Amino acid sequence: MINTGVASFAQERRVRVVAGAPHPGHGAPHPALRAKNVPLLCRLPERVDVVALSAAVRALVERHPVLQYRFLHRDGRVSLRWAGAGVADVECAVVDRSALGTADGAVRAFLRAQVDAPFDLLGWPLLRAGVIQDDRPLFYLCADHTVCDGWSMTVAMRDIEAAYTGLLRGRTVELRPPGDYLRYSAAQRRRYTSGPAVERAVDGVRAMLAGRAVEPAFPLPAAPWDAEHGRYTEFDLLDAAAAGRLLDYCRSRRATPYMAVLAAFGVAAREIAGRAEVGVLVAMHNRDERHTADSVGWYANMLALYFPTFPVDRFDDGVRAVRDRLMRLLVFAELPLSRVADDLADTNDNGAGVRFPTCFISLTDARTPPSAGGSGRWEQLDLAPSYRMGYGLWVVLHDTGLRAVTASPRTSAGVASLAGLESRIADVLRSAAVPATA
């Protein structure tokens, strides 16, 4: 085991900001912004063997190198040092459901507290796990975004479930060899530190932005924002039948459901705020290869997507516009935003997440694969990440339909705008998913 490693561009940038050494164009972060945690929430079929579950969480740490290192920040430099000798101390916390009381929302409030609590970014480990013990227990895991992304939590659930099941049955469950984020990080450094190819890519993104901010601001009038507290919502967009019709609609137009969601967001922003163009951050997961698909780490790259908005009666035009802009953006999918943000930043506008909220939208397909045969025993549930740096909309395609969760700083003046936005997005998608015979 090597004792040191190199941080990725994204890791280095986050550590520097949180550690209090701001990048150009960024002020010191509000303390509430230090928590940028990615959660996993699962419902289990029966009461948990906590000893076995703790061992399964330790197996996750032992399996993925990125979880075994701590960050060092000295003289403006960020490095990694192996801390995995302490893996034996990693435990799964347990609380009985009855201890949380009977008040409505008590369980959700407890889970939010676990997810929202910031990690000491220079400490270790940068994850916590626990279980709410009950006849159908809830298992939660959250990690600082610096060591994982949303895809990583799906990998983590598979790995922990397999290890836990194997321990209960007294046998090892074989999994494919995982990728190593540290190797990915080192390769990223070699590829994107400098050189003509990097300069051409940066110039290409600069031309595409055409003076727009690298980190798009939330486009609706919802200020002032209160970063001390979070606003979290959950709502259904489409039932299973309507979601199926939306998929048919998208296929007929060579589009994806994500493009339809973005176009619906554009309709809502146009109607509520009069915006002829909006910008959002989109995630490029960069998980196309086996060694990244099965690995825990911060592989997702973020890039700014700007697109024109259209009224609802021209929704097809909106979908086409989103598709066109998104396809052009995909050329730069592997160019780390954290590497080029300072090169591209207009210091008068950059710094979203410090001075004003960003806007982030994602869509995940969580439908059960046909090959799974319904054998999954752990049911993954929706839980918004800790996200106070902006307005985040996470849309998930389930077997039961299309569902959304949001996270943002709390706002008093903007409650009506946010609620109207979310309601209108749902309305627009329902209108796109009307039956073909209607």
Domain parsing of the chain, residue ranges: 4-182, 194-432
Topology agreement, domain 4-182 and domain 194-432: yes
Indicate the range of 75-79, 273-277, 423-427 predicted with least confidence.
75-79
Q: How far is CA 84 from the centre of its chain?
A: 25
Q: Is the pLDDT of residue 359 over 50?
A: yes
The single residue listed with the structure tokens 């951050």 is 281
Say which residue, 54 or 354, is predicted with more confidence.
54
Q: Which H or E element spans position 415? A: helix 415-432
Look at residue 18 in the predicted model and tell me its pLDDT: 83
Dump pLDDT digits (tens) for 12-35. Answer: 988 988 876 444 444 555 555 567
Q: Which of 153-157, 228-232, 277-281 is predicted least confidently?
A: 228-232
Cα first-last separation, the chain = 63
Q: What pLDDT shows up at residue 85?
A: 85
Question: Looking at residues 266-275, what average pLDDT do you find?
Answer: 96
The amino acid sitting at 37 is N
Token output for 392 = 């985040």
Q: What's the confidence (pLDDT) of residue 32?
A: 54
Tens digits of residue pLDDT in 54-69 = 999 999 999 999 999 9
Q: Beta strand 127-133 with 92-96: parallel, antiparallel or unpaired?
A: parallel
Q: Write b or e for each residue in 147-182: b if 16 or more Cβ atoms lie within 10 A of its Cβ, otherwise e.
A: bbbbbbbebbbebbbbbbebbeeeeeeeeeebbbbb
pLDDT value at position 19? Answer: 78
Residues 6+ positions from 332 with CB-CB distance below 8 Å? 201, 204, 205, 208, 303
Q: Note the Cα 380 to chain centre separation in Å.
A: 15
Q: What is the pLDDT of residue 435?
A: 77
* Percent of the residues in the chain that have a pLDDT greater than 90, as a whole number: 69
CATH, range 4-182: 3.30.559.10
Average pLDDT (111-140) is: 94
> 17-45: string of b/e by CB count within 10 Å (b at 16+)?
bbbeeebebbeebbebbbbbbbbbbbebe
Nearest to 319 by CA among 308, 330, 329: 308
Does the pLDDT of residue 438 top 60, yes or no? no
Residue 226 confidence (pLDDT) above 90: no
Of residues 411, 355, 402, the one with CA closest to residue 232: 411
Give me the chain's average pLDDT, please. Answer: 89
- Over residues 246-265, the mean pLDDT reads 97
- Please give the torsion angle defined by the CA atoms of residues 317, 319, 325 and 329, in that order, rounded to the nearest 10 degrees: -170
In this structure, of 153-162, 227-236, 302-311, the range with the lowest mean pLDDT score is 227-236
Cis, peptide link before residue 224, omega less than 30° from 0: yes
CA–centroid distance for 279 within its chain: 18
Average confidence (pLDDT) over 181-205: 93
Query: pTM of this prediction?
Result: 0.91
Closest by CA position to 130, among listed 96, 88, 164, 169 = 96
Tell me whether residue 118 is exposed, middle or buried, using C-beta atoms within 10 angstroms of its C-beta: 0 to 12, 13 to 18, 19 or more.
middle
Range with the lowest mean pLDDT among 14-28, 114-128, 299-313, 356-370? 14-28
What whole-number distance in Å separates Cα of residue 107 and Cα of residue 359? Answer: 28
For the sheet containing 92-96, what is the strand order? Answer: 92-96, 127-133, 138-144, 37-43, 379-381
Average pLDDT over every residue of 264-284: 95
Q: Collect contacts of 50-53 with beta carbons under 8 A, ≥24 apart.
A: 50/92, 50/94, 50/131, 50/133, 52/164, 52/167, 52/168, 53/92, 53/129, 53/131, 53/139, 53/160, 53/164
Q: What's the pLDDT at 291?
A: 84
Confidence category of residue 75, pLDDT binned at 50, 70, 90: confident
- Nearest CA among 226, 220, 232 for reference residue 268: 220
Structure confidence at residue 349 (pLDDT): 46
Overall CATH class of domain 194-432: alpha beta
To 5 degrees, how large is the angle CA 308–CA 314–CA 320? 55
Of 76, 72, 80, give the one whose Cα is nearest residue 20. Answer: 76
pLDDT(185) > 60: yes
d(CA 408, CA 405): 10
Q: Give CA–CA dist 12/6, Å, rounded.
A: 9
Predicted local distance difference test score (pLDDT) of residue 351 = 44
Give yes or no for residue 296 having a pLDDT over 60.
yes
Average pLDDT over residues 72-85: 89
Amino acid at site 79? S
Q: What is the mean pLDDT of the segment spanning 210-227?
A: 87
**Angstrom distance (rounded) from CA 204 to CA 307:** 17
**What type of residue is 200?**
R
Tell me the C-alpha distance between 294 and 173, whole Å: 15
The residue written with tokens 């399964």 in the block is: 56
Task: State yes or no: pLDDT of 397 exceeds 90.
Answer: yes
Residue 384 has pLDDT above 80, yes or no: yes
> In the structure encoding, which two tokens stand for residue 76, read together?
């403006």
